Structure 1
């Protein structure tokens, strides 16, 4: 007797992202109760399963949904506000004043919805967010059936979210308690950077992390200026964090463009996860993350877009291409970060970095059905000698056809199923007009 399942997806190719670097041809996926029940050759699947929802994805490729391991979702509403500036000028003279003036629960809700819509349409099914009002971001993620790690921001000075680091930590613990049983949302501490968080809050976070097993994500070694200023106080930032006892396998270091041999040895020794944001780093001239050296040292490297205010898009396929190409130039080796490794950085490595690789990041029996389907029949993708090459070296975001999170279809034929696109556009325009008018009066 055939097993009844919720859906059967029949594809020309499946890239499950496994250690064999498999490319399965003419295979199908059985989905039931939000999980992957089985993956079999298409000519065998109907011998085992039946479903009212058979989907024939001719000339399409199925792969895990992409995982954007670092960003600031609501900052999509600041897209293009201040360009072509170095990091500290960009932050201190433009972004921080704008945030002080405009960030509110409504701003975060609308900006997060805009970011989620952009990410879903380009194949991202899970993202890590570090921004103010994380409680509002978590509500928005849940409402739209996305998957996310929400990093509660912690800084020494007043922000729209908290007056200081202690209040930020207190509020983060409340958000964590509220979201503890949410299957789509995981809470993390988000101390902004070594230069904005002092020693005592970091010691407190180290203790809380050990007690509660809450991940920590932090911008680290982002610019040469950050490192040289820290050295004047006696320690490079990574060495300082080691001394404070905060480094470990649940620590996610974002950017790391300035890393010497000793830094890399320290990161590897503590099994710190690195989140590489190549396009934001290039735009802000922050430096180059030594991805090839990190991978050879055994460091897990994931991919992020950073916020749309410094990128200016949330296209993780584009990030894959940039990461692979940039790594070759930095290493002086065309074999550095081959195409499959770039895909792994944007999927399974992202899940490992966020501590959710038992749930998502690859297409494996028992994992959540977080799946994207990509149209490989477009003029720009032909001929297809090796689909993995196309996924990385050909821009693919606009070729995403369908997106499922937990087996629920959120994009069908390129159209968002749960978000009113026209309403979202109108809200974004209204914010733009308000912010533009407000800036012109200053």
Structure 2
């Protein structure tokens, strides 16, 4: 998902999943305790007195991260990040830019607090933060996250979670050491989905980076966002997803959803508005299924999901122009996932997938807009509306057909 109005999204997931299965994930604090215990076991001759002294010094030093976020100071924040880990460094640059942007246009509050530091040697340790974030008219959410810290020639730096990595073809999969079995499974799923999209939609990405998180708090804190199950990032970052150990089918669906976003970014130069981004991602999330070891597009599953969404939306009608121009995840009345799904399914069933491809190619002619540009949403809406009308024609006529197709009122 490109962005998340998390309360609506969680409600929508409950509509589409069977029953009321609880997603079993550990808290950020539990994950922190696990890694601190591992750090304890790795201690060498570095004695307790040395540790206490260094930890006190580092706590004072890393308070600079709090100040940088508070003062919306990009350069100061980036001084604490490890440039020798380029993927993480790019993602942290995006993090602080997003934090600055939220205060400008989203009327959001965001702060970061140093929670704990534990060193395991004179050059390595762990640091924990609490990221507090809330949108207007909502209670702030506290999310814990723990990073590695390392001492470099330029001083102590934050160096991502303690991920390990594995590769398959053009996919790099990052996972925590205790999740190696899950990583082996889901890198195969990721490879299958990418191949399915390549064979059916001609997507051939240069490279795909995936980070597998074991708790929702750490995932949300790393974005930043109050709560989410997956995040597709930007065109040169990783996509991040939550491992639901008791619900592998749901985890697979999240992978299908987020990989669709990455495909659409490539196809449109990331110029596609939220309605169509979330629409096709939700379409694939509900349609791409495993059947006898192979992936298929399951129309029965799609039709069942459509019926549930229509019931949840109470068959309420909005014109296509209204839907294309909604303020995506901030609109409290229109669920962008639900209506995006309905519009996408309508277009595929009545106009065919080839027309969607033509629509995407037209958008790719426009330049990429940085994800943290405060005018990006407005520019994307204008570009999407213009390309859509060129490919699909008169909006009023198409809106009438959309209304009739689902018997909306």
> Shorter-chain TM-score: what band?
under 0.3
Structure number with higher helix proportion = 2
Structure number with higher strand proportion = 1
| Normalised TM-score (structure 2) | 0.25
Query: Highest relative contact order (Cα 8 Å, sep 6+), 1 or 2?
Result: 1
| Normalised TM-score (structure 1) | 0.23
